[in-house]
Structure 1
Amino acid sequence: MVVDRSWQIAFDTLASRPVRQARMVLAAQGFGVVVLEAGGDAFVSVPGLPAHLAPETVSLSSDGSLLVCTANQDDGAGPRRVVLHTLATGARQEFTSDDYLRAALSPDGARLAVLADLSDGPGIPGVGDEIAGIELIDVRTGARERLWYAEGYWEEAAIGWSPDGLLLAATYLTLDDVLTTVVLDLTGKEIASFPERVALPGPHSVWVSGHELVVYPEPDDESPLIVIDVRTGQERRFTRRNFEGYLAVSGGRVVRPGSAPGRLVTTDFGDGDERPFLTTSPAVSIDALDLAP
């Protein structure tokens, strides 16, 4: 498991080459997209990515073979596209829409769940209909299905599949300015809704089991992590002693910035048992971090 040990990245010496699979991906400001190669300890810069990708949207498929991101067109203009980039070959699949903001690939790799801004107004509150929605895309055929929508906006955008691929969770902002995480089945039925609960942005950091979400409270309640059983709504709230922010969750460990620039650490959910995780040289800001299960 990636979070069981510590790693180092020297960005100035990274090779840029294809890899068969990856266990970790990060988007680093000034240095592009970097993956940790599966089956080894090498960090590699990913070649051949779109010039205008949105770094905060970068994630991995569950098997580590694909990079998932959104990007503007090659000239920097819209409409935005969801890109599936095969790490071994550089081959791409692209799905284009004016509405797409963020995407997560299902555990079996068959479907994309895409956050879509379905508004017909200029994005100004009170002007036009403001609609947040989720579309499912069949990766093989390209067929698209609108799964769910609600009045609101994509703010603190997050979406993730449950490990068994049967449920989706997404965070959006209601018209009443309440950040809310909603849980859906694959018919679009709303299984549960949790106001003032926000999921982490990485697709593999949203669920800790097939029926448990990991979220944090909003507005800021000292931001402890909370695990919610979506079947019962029961919450387990953990302690927080550090306020540097959350980056990812994997294997019962939380990844967050450490006490010095360029250092990430892991802790348990209660912010204890701190261990070094990742040191970067030079120290950089991380736009996205996703860990394959």
Structure 2
Amino acid sequence: MWVWVRPEWFGFQFVSSLEQWFPCHCSRFLSNTVSRKRRRALLNNPIFANLAGFFLNAYWELVLRTSRISLLVNPEVDRLVKEQRLPVIYALWHCHVFFMPLLRRYERRAISVLLSSHRDARYVGLAARLRGVQLVEGSSTRGGMQAYRQLYRCINQGQSVVITPDGPKGPSRQIKPGVIKLASQTANAVVPVVLDAKPSHRINSWDRTVLPLPFGRHTLIIGAPLYFNRFDECSQQCIKLAVALDRLASSPCQDFSLETL
């Protein structure tokens, strides 16, 4: 008797069984087998970090090769990026960080991504670097000013940057003022980006990271550019960006251009 198994169901079972091996959950898996001191040493080991990064890159390649990947792009962004060749500041929720290398494929030129210097971010950073993405390390609590200056320099050199405004540790979907400050001082547009992954799996982390599954249809939606004035109230501008991100995820994008990768 033959039993048909849907590919996306297989992907879900695969990821569910593998979730305990995912880098940000390795400490939970190892807690019953090794001491806390040895567990920390293992997770901070460069060899382990490299293996985790290569694993993430391999999983990314699996998703790309077995899924239909599409881009929905606002025409104004196409004009800025493709015609005028201007740098922009891409802003996406931290839970959608898995698909940030697609932005480099969209621009077809180098981009820089802001990641924290935390252990888990290093795993993601290595996988992103293997995809040709340049990294800027820093956060609001560690190396923030140096990272800000580096992002500012990248934009002045004509390179777009990617920021997760609710990272690196949350609260989830609450905008921090750094992206607003960077946009107002450089006079460059902030472009909201969301991910529509079907099917997907939610990792048990603070931001409920969306992990796209193989054999799916995944779409990266790039919304209309936003501009911020340095003289306007920062809290109101943060709300404006948050509303734009949430609206982009829920509203139809009929006038957007479709690009299949």
- Give the TM-score taking structure 1 as reference length: 0.28
Q: Which has the higher helix share?
A: 2
- Give the TM-score taking structure 2 as reference length: 0.30
